[in-house]
A and B are shown apart, each in its own frame.
Chain A
Amino acid sequence: MDPLVPLLRRFHEKDVRFVVIGVAGINYYATGAGTTFTTRDRDLLLPLDPEALLRAWTACDELALSLAIGEEPLDVPRDRWLAERVISTRSVVRATNGRDLDVDLSVLMAGHDFEHVWAERRIFLVEGVEVPVARLEHIVRSKAEAGRPKDLLFLATHRDALKQIFAKGE
């Protein structure tokens, strides 16, 4: 079982809007093993809404996932004040079970805002659970916009993988 699924199910129950972004999001568009990319991190983009953030943190708590910003555990009490600070600093909160699930809860996607990404999301199914995923083009453009060496390295690899699929016979 995909360890992410229980968390996504809990997010749906609590009306937490989210879209999968990052390499994990790109993987949902894979056509086979040759176009999947190994990653430990699952990146979820959440809206700039402190109440949604609080519900997301509660969902993580209920599944015994620990929450941290960087190396520091997320403060308690986890109240609206803290959620507003996390949003204003665009901090990434990591939820982990310490084994096979590392989820980065982010409110920032380079070059994109949540509502636009949400409006054009694609919904896939995993073990019967709806998984909202950002458009592939949005994720790739975000990586190009961020421009970190690891993003550019990934884009070169991803471009080559797509070339193998689509450039044959052209």
Chain B
Amino acid sequence: MDASRAAICQLLDALPDPVIGPVELDHDYLDWIRRLEALPANAPGADKTWIWECIRAFEDHFRRAVRVK
């Protein structure tokens, strides 16, 4: 990152986060959330080791990508 871009990032980071909300969540979204929580895969004690591995694989894939055309 060049110096001017770094300075801009520093300036933006120093600004407080703008706020739009709070917002209401719609019925469908809340229903899907509760259904997701209730899935057997999300039962207490479920093994979630795969989550980090999945995210890391995703990041590694794009980190290694090179433009060929």
Q: Chain A residues in contact with chain B, CB under 8 A?
A: 2, 4, 27-31, 33, 36, 38-39, 111, 122-127, 131, 135-137, 140-141, 144-152, 155, 159, 162-163, 165-167
Contacts and interface: CB of A to CB of B under 8 A. Distances in A.
Nearest to B32: A162
> Lowest 5 A-B CB distances belong to which pairs?
A147-B21, A162-B32, A2-B52, A124-B48, A166-B32
Interface string B27-40: 01111111111010
Contact of A38 (B28, B48, B58): B58
B2 interface: no
Given A145-B21, A147-B20, A147-B23, A125 B47 contact: yes
Classify the secondary structure of B's interface with A.
Answer: helix
Given A31-B36, A165-B32, A151 B47 contact: no
Interface residues of B, number: 34
A151 B21 contact: yes
Contacts of A147: 19-23
Nearest to A145: B22
Interface string B50-69: 01101100110000000000
A148 B46 contact: no
A148 B44 contact: no
Given A27-B55, A31-B39, A152-B23, A162 B44 contact: no
Contact of A127 (B25, B36, B49): B49
